[in-house]
Amino acid sequence: MTNTNEFINHLASKLGRPTPTETPPPVEISVPQYRLSNTEERASIFLQNWQALGGKGAIVKSENDMLQCLKEWFGDLPITWFKDNPQALIAWDMLPSIAESAFSTLNWPLTRYTQSSLDPRDRYSIAAHAELGITGSDLGIALSGTIVMNSDPLRGRVVSLLPPRHLAFIETTKIRNNLFEVLEEISALGTPPAAIEMISGPSRTSDIEMDLSIGVHGPIEVYVVVIDN
Partner 1 sequence: MTMFNLTTDQRVDKALANNFLRQATRRATDRLRNNKYKASDELGNWEEWRNAGETIRKHVIANLDFYLHQLIEQMEQRGVHVHLAKTPADAVGIVRNIVREHDAKNVLKSKSMISEEIHLNHALEEDGAAVVETDLGEYIIQIAGEPPSHIIVPAMHKTRQQVADLFEPIAGHALSSDTPTLTRFARIQMREQFLRGDIGITGCNFAVANTGSIVMVTNEGNGRMVSTLPRVQITLMGMERIVPSFRELDIMLNLLARSATGQRLSSYTTILTPPKKSADSDGPEEYHLVILDHNRSEILGDKLFRTALNCIRCGACFNVCPVYRQLGGHAYGSVYSGPIGSVITPLLEKDWKKWGHLPYFSSLCGACTEGCPVRIPLHDLLVKLRMRKTQSGHTPQVEQQIFKAYRYLFTREKTLRRALRLGAHLQRPFVRNHRITGGPPPLSNWTKSRTLPMVAPKPFMQIWADLNNKR
Which 46-85 positions form the footprint of partner 1 (CB under 8 A)?
49, 53
Q: Where are the alpha helices (DSSP H) in 85-189?
A: 97-106, 120-129, 179-188
Residue 150 neighbours by CB under 8 Å, 6+ apart: 138, 186, 192, 193, 195, 196
Please, what is the minimum distance in Å from the beta carbon of residue 44 to partner 1? Answer: 17
DSSP symbol at 23: P
Of the candidates 75, 94, 184, 229, which one interacts with partner 1 according to CB under 8 A?
184
Least distance (Å) between residue 226 CB and partner 1: 18
Candidate list 68, 101, 204, 228; residue touching partner 1; CB under 8 A: 204
As measured in angstroms, the least distance from the Cβ of 36 to partner 1 is: 15
Of 174, 168, 180, 165, give the one whose Cα is nearest residue 214: 165
Residues 112 to 151: which contact partner 1 by CB under 8 A?
Answer: 113-114, 120-121, 123-125, 128, 141, 143-146, 151
Among 45, 163, 219, 224, binds partner 1 (CB under 8 A): 219
CB 181 within 8 A of CB 146: no
User: Angle CA(199)–CA(224)–CA(114) in degrees, nearest 5?
Assistant: 70
Stretch that binds partner 1, among 37-45, 59-67, 77-85, 179-187 (CB under 8 A): 179-187
| Residues from 6 through 45 that contact partner 1 (CB under 8 A) | 7-16, 19-20, 23-24, 26-32, 34
- Give the shortest CB-63-to-partner 1 separation in angstroms: 29
Question: Could you tell me which of 145, 165, 161 has the C-alpha nearest to residue 74?
Answer: 165
* Of residues 94-113, those binding partner 1 (CB under 8 A): 113
* Interface residue with partner 1, options 58, 59, 77, 196 (CB under 8 A): 196
Q: Which of 138, 137, 133 is nearest to 158 (CA)?
A: 133
